[in-house]
Amino acid sequence: MSIETSALEKFRARARNTNVNDVTLLATDYLNHFNEALMLAELVVDMPDMLEDFATWAPRSYSDHFRASGIADRELAIEAYEFSPPEYKEPFEKTMRRLDIEILSLQDELRLSADIPDDADAGECTAERCLVIRELIDHAGAIINGQLCGDLQSSPKGEEEATLDQDEINAMFG
- The upper half-sphere exposure of residue 69, i.e. CA atoms within 13 Å in the direction of its Cβ, equals 24
- Closest CA relative to residue 136, chosen from 90, 95, 85: 95
Q: Could you tell me which residue, 3 or 33, shows the higher pLDDT?
A: 33
What's the pLDDT at 171? 53
Domain boundaries, the chain: 28-64+86-172
CA 58 to chain centre: 11
Note the pTM of the prediction, 2 decimals.
Answer: 0.81
* pLDDT tens digits, one per residue of 125-164: 888 999 999 999 999 999 999 997 665 544 444 333 444 4
Give pLDDT tens digits for 106-124: 999 988 877 665 556 667 8
Residue 174 has pLDDT above 70, yes or no: no
